[in-house]
Amino acid sequence: MSTISELQLLTVLSQEMNMRKAAERLFVTQPALSQRLQNIEKDWGTPLFIRSQRGLSLTAAGELVTKFARETLKKEEEVKESIHAFKEEVYGTLKIAVASIVGQNWLPEVLKRFVERYPQAKVSLVTGWSSDMMKSVSEDNMHIGIIRGVSDWKGIKMHLFDDPLYLVDREIAKLEDIALTDRPFIQFKSDSNYYEEIQVWWHQNLQMPPKNTIVVDQIETCKQLSFNGIGYSILPSIALRKADEALSRIPLFNDNNKPITRGTWLIGYEANFQLKQVQAFLEIVNEYLEEEKVKAINP
């Protein structure tokens, strides 16, 4: 096994652990992928995956070989980036790990500028919970991360913006209405201190728990249920950019009468901030943030 395409094939298979999903990612047919895998296993002289109706599982040899494949691909990418770092043009792959809500509501406009301005650069993007995104950066799988809330990150940490929290609904217009409604309170799971902040605010302002509660696993689901009138929820302003005017928004304040906000931060290690593609992305981020400030002053 010597070609990069075989390394990529093994890496994708080890990530998906499913022939159909891996074939879709690699843009090949399932039979073709199966044949390629058989040839690779023949070259190694041992099975690397165990096939079953439930999917794939790695053999002991498969764990070693797929680890070798991932490490080799990563090393190749690092060498390419080191070579391109000596050139003026922005090449290489920009690897970003982004909290889902930022990836859905803020990043697209910024990333659109990046790919239009630097067509030679590639983008590798993963989204998920902030803790997982921070782990991806700490393990050096991604160049930079964009996370929510306060973190104890030890590397470079750049504040991007704060956005206030609102109680949103199509019927509730003031806090007093909550005690009178049987409509469900829609919550989304979070790995940060978001839930704790909401609990503190709720007990300070409402005293009694909601009569009905719906818990969902993602903020986007919570947002869509609220937008469609299923119930009320507490959402950050970043999630309300495309909300229609019929949606009531009640701002949340802490006991010092200051708006409760969620912070968004860009994190990374100093070495990655030296890469041209990262520097180019940061320039666009700062440019975009400045424009947003101007819009806020002169709407």
- Distance set, CA 220 to CA 97, 122, 140, 165 (Å): 18, 27, 28, 15
- Which pLDDT band holds residue 299 (cuts at 50, 70, 90)? low
Q: How far apart are CA 101 and CA 143, in angstroms?
A: 19
Condensed to tens digits (0 to 9), the pLDDT of residues 75-103 reads: 888 888 777 766 667 778 999 999 999 99
Over residues 128-154, the mean pLDDT reads 89
Nearest 5 degrees, angle CA 48-CA 50-CA 54? 140
**What does the angle CA 14 – CA 17 – CA 23 come to, to the nearest 5 degrees?**
90
Note the pLDDT of residue 1: 41
Are the beta carbons of 264 and 147 closer than 8 angstroms?
yes
Contact 90, 114 (CB under 8 A): no
Q: How far apart are CA 107 and CA 130, in angstroms?
A: 15
Whether residue 200 has pLDDT greater than 80: yes
Of the candidates 27, 42, 33, the residue with the CA atom closest to the CA atom of residue 10: 33
| Confidence at 2, pLDDT banded by 50, 70, 90 | very low
pLDDT at res. 164: 93
Q: How confident is the model at residue 165 (pLDDT cuts 50, 70, 90)?
A: very high
Please, what are the domains in the chain? 4-85 (1.10.10.10), 93-159+271-297 (3.40.190.10), 162-262 (3.40.190.290)
DSSP 43-92: HHTS--EEEETTEEEE-HHHHHHHHHHHHHHHHHHHHHHHHHTTSSS--S
In the predicted structure, residue 210 carries a pLDDT above the cut 60: yes
Report the predicted TM-score, pTM, of the whole model to 2 decimal places.
0.70
